[in-house]
Structure 1
């Protein structure tokens, strides 16, 4: 679909408004050409002393009525045409947002937020100008020029009219060339604005990191560079406009001067009357508008065309995760999960993130997944949510291939607490009830109590109506995590996923939340991802992921007995905890620093010695 076809499908939705606006604009232009004739008639009547006061009043009344009609007509064509352009802008924005929601997470991994925001704002504004004011300029200029030229030829003088038309030919040829040159410059400018917007958005989102690392000056230099680049791209546009627009004014001025001299000569020789010469000058002034309007229209069309292509790029992206044609509704999901030789390769990667994962999880089981960072734990649960596609048969839920379950049904039966604990800039109540709209306040409070955040919330001045800052910045890390857990618990879904959701809470709170989960989720499947073994040691089933493979599967006792990776991780964490306890005890009793360091060194030495005997490397 080319650019014109793309935008035409939106213009067709508002075709009746466009038709009404264009018809109104036509009549406005038609009545507009009578004003010079009326003023010319008055001039001739007064010059020849052939018009009395009654005739003057009659012509003045006609002028008043024409002016009143023009004022009313200009209101209506603006209402229809500008309203249609605003409507198309809104429809485009609605459709683009809906389309972006359908795109998979890989798209957002590859495209910056600032660039998308520019397409939603600046680019859509340029499109609105192209399908609103630009269309008005073209139609108005064309109709006005034809009507005015016709009046000039038949009412005034043919030779004088032809003289006035010569510069218009040069202007038309020049403006066509001007539009072709401007198009790539406008596209470069929009891309520069996108880059600048993205830089600013990232800088504001990461302002705490910038301040913590004292990088304000470096960020400022980066901003100045991006801003300078944007200014240069804008100047490329402005420089060309600075040459073309004054040159256009010069040509129009010379044309007006030539016709004024020649028209004055014709009036002096009596070939045309004084009134017709006055009318001709008014017609010349009316022709200036079409000449200028063509330049403005080409500007707006060039900008709009570049922006349409940028918006069209978004619509041309196709979602990779979507419902296939062989779907079976899933009214009730029990929560039984099977991974059958699950292998997954991220787009652009050369090595699989997950390799041949095989595991059967009965409904009501608590599965814990543990492993080093970057070993595919989050990818595994993202595949369960179908944020990425898997090959048929690799993931089964209740014995059904996950690809045959409608996305809406699948995700409605899964509650998810992501790693980043994203919260919206809204009240705590709205954030907790986000995934279960329509829930009563009692349900919100129950979920908050289960996630151990209720006491914190009621201590805030506004309680559950407390506004959360952007991405939850006004809350602590632990409060954000517990609010995210409450948001998941209120869904009461048969499958609950907690992706490292307890890393920012203290040990006592963690134990209380885990007890609440055990009580509240009887018979429901829970998947826990964690780095602390204390978080997951009571799980029914534990899977150890290492380099994308399920190296060990079992419960805490069986994995400890196996003496593999899990036991090694447990002993290391126990050692680290013991060292931490000893250090705190020594600090509390005010033992000299050198003794604390000596004790710490002895413990570390013993730990690394034991690992060395096992043949492992100290970590």
Structure 2
């Protein structure tokens, strides 16, 4: 099936596991096919009055030996096929996660977390079933059907075989029709499950907002709607599956009815022996499982194909941001930054976030950026980190065009503290050391002290081994920001970027952090984005942004003397501080 071509390399690498698994599966089938022959001879001996106690013990021994062999062979095929299907699940999940890590930021702006989680759980599980249980069932269905039909016609009666298997063409047509419908229905179930997962994930992540705004009832209604949609999609699939399997059983039962009617007539007229009739029905009973398996395997393969198609859509996604051929690895990097006539607009945005933006930030200097919300401050950082591609203009680092620099090398040389101060659900020490491969406790302590979070951490019962809640929810906003600052400092990067990362701390703590950062900022290029003028007033240069353009540029004193936007911000903040002090 074309959707499974993605797994070609895995299947080739593990072909011997499948081959050996199928070999032992066929051994199981062959041993099961011996049972009708034992029953044939046993029945004929009884009918002829030839059965002795020794014969009874011999036939019993045959059945026990067949049972033991079947159990051993069944264990062996499971050890190969089931294990390799689990390995497939493991490797496919790794492949999916690894690929998702390569995709650009914009991909996550248009794809929901719940949908991606559904791909990594339900869809991959369906693929594992298709290439595990599905392989077993299709092998059983083909081999058992072919051999059983051959033995029925060769050892009993050809006409009886043909009449008994008359329902098979109807069964084949029904399987084909049902299979197409099941595929469509299963896609609907997976899509509904994705939407359902997304609502649950989003609600749990935002539970504090939900409770703060007393929206529990509204969220329960939203959940009920998605849950009901998933229920109806599942019921729609169940109805088809519910008709599918009883229909297969009906066809199998019709085969038995024909066998009983016509076969008993042949026995009465002496055309076949009673043993032949018993063996024939035993073969026919062995055919019921392959007929059932054929139905199941169509179901499994259709579900697996539908899930593989959904996974392939992700794997076929190409990252918008990638390394150019012969990308430069930064060596002896100094941190000189130039924005040269940069214009940028976010996808689907109506206006430019930056327009004809140009600035030079010499290595080792500091730049303060201030402006109204939406003026383009964070966009500057997004472009410097190459989270988006430029539309026009160029950014240079040490006179190298940014799109010629290897992404890993670029980002390793930048220490970034974002507005959200995202923390992972692990210890504070692990969160601080997140950006480096190897770190010592001394490195963590040094960074935490500069970020003014050390005293808070040691006051916790478990100190640096304290586990923070999801997204750092167990910490205050200021503690999260300072932990994020420590995480950037421990990298010892050549460029430091603070994107409104002191907004949640008081002015006294801010002063201490900035004082500690002075030694860290030596010989480093630093960009400080803030809404508070106290954060950026000591920068070597300050720019004021408005609608993506630089409207003012200079030192703190120069900008105050201009009595324009910067001066307005300053006066407003003085007034706010005065009101708060009263």
Aligned to 2:524: 524
Larger mean Cα displacement after TM superposition, 49-58 or 111-120 = 49-58
**1:392 touches 1:401 (CA, 8 Å); kept in 2?**
no
**2:342 touches 2:392 (CA, 8 Å); kept in 1?**
no
**SS in structure 2 opposite 1:186?**
helix
Aligned to 2:219: 219
Deviations 1:553-598 (A, max 9, x none): 111011111222111111111122212223xxxxxxxxxxxxxxxx
**2:433 touches 2:444 (CA, 8 Å); kept in 1?**
yes
Query: What is the count of residue pairs matched by the alignment?
Result: 582
**2:145 touches 2:290 (CA, 8 Å); kept in 1?**
yes
Deviations 1:421-472 (A, max 9, x none): 0000000010001112321101101111111111111110100000011100
Q: Which runs of 5+ in 2 are unaligned?
A: none
Separation in structure 1 between the aligned mates of residue 119 and residue 17 of structure 2, nearest angstrom: 26
Aligned to 1:358: 358
**1:392 touches 1:403 (CA, 8 Å); kept in 2?**
no
Name the CA shift for 1:569/1:392 in 2 (closer, same or farther; >3 Å). closer
Larger mean Cα displacement after TM superposition, 272-281 or 216-225 = 272-281
Could you tell me the TM-score, scaled by structure 1's length? Answer: 0.92
Query: Please, what is the CA RMSD of the aligned residues?
Result: 1.4
Q: Which runs of 5+ in 1 are unaligned?
A: 583-619
Aligned to 2:231: 231
Structure 1 residue 150 corresponds to structure 2 residue 150: yes
Per the TM alignment, residue 251 of structure 1 is displaced from its structure 2 partner at its CA by 2.3
**SS in structure 1 opposite 2:214?**
coil
Aligned to 1:587: none
**1:333 touches 1:494 (CA, 8 Å); kept in 2?**
yes
Structure 1 residue 561 corresponds to structure 2 residue 565: no
**1:494 touches 1:525 (CA, 8 Å); kept in 2?**
yes
Per the TM alignment, residue 333 of structure 1 is displaced from its structure 2 partner at its CA by 1.4
Aligned to 1:598: none
Separation in structure 1 between the aligned mates of residue 164 and residue 541 of structure 2, nearest angstrom: 90
Aligned to 2:62: 62
- Structure 1 residues 131-150: aligned runs within 5 Å: 131-150=131-150
Deviations 1:11-46 (A, max 9, x none): 223211111111211222122211110121112112
Per the TM alignment, residue 243 of structure 1 is displaced from its structure 2 partner at its CA by 2.2
Larger mean Cα displacement after TM superposition, 538-547 or 267-276 = 267-276
Deviations 1:485-512 (A, max 9, x none): 1111111111011111000001100000
**SS in structure 1 opposite 2:14?**
helix
Separation in structure 2 between the aligned mates of residue 392 and residue 435 of structure 1, nearest angstrom: 31
Aligned to 1:288: 288
**SS in structure 2 opposite 1:263?**
helix
**SS in structure 1 opposite 2:124?**
helix
**SS in structure 1 opposite 2:379?**
helix
Deviations 1:526-565 (A, max 9, x none): 1111001111111111111100111111110111112221
Separation in structure 1 between the aligned mates of residue 393 and residue 351 of structure 2, nearest angstrom: 21
- Structure 1 residues 301-450: aligned runs within 5 Å: 301-390=301-390, 394-450=394-450
Separation in structure 1 between the aligned mates of residue 517 and residue 7 of structure 2, nearest angstrom: 52
Name the CA shift for 1:172/1:379 in 2 (closer, same or farther; >3 Å). same
Aligned to 1:602: none
Separation in structure 2 between the aligned mates of residue 399 and residue 376 of structure 1, nearest angstrom: 23
- Structure 1 residues 598-613: aligned runs within 5 Å: none
Separation in structure 1 between the aligned mates of residue 420 and residue 450 of structure 2, nearest angstrom: 20
Separation in structure 1 between the aligned mates of residue 135 and residue 467 of structure 2, nearest angstrom: 45
**2:366 touches 2:540 (CA, 8 Å); kept in 1?**
yes
Aligned to 1:20: 20
Separation in structure 2 between the aligned mates of residue 218 and residue 55 of structure 1, nearest angstrom: 76
Aligned to 2:77: 77
Per the TM alignment, residue 248 of structure 1 is displaced from its structure 2 partner at its CA by 2.4
Separation in structure 2 between the aligned mates of residue 272 and residue 170 of structure 1, nearest angstrom: 28
Aligned to 1:93: 93
Aligned to 1:605: none
Per the TM alignment, residue 391 of structure 1 is displaced from its structure 2 partner at its CA by 5.2
Separation in structure 2 between the aligned mates of residue 288 and residue 202 of structure 1, nearest angstrom: 47
Separation in structure 2 between the aligned mates of residue 2 and residue 53 of structure 1, nearest angstrom: 58
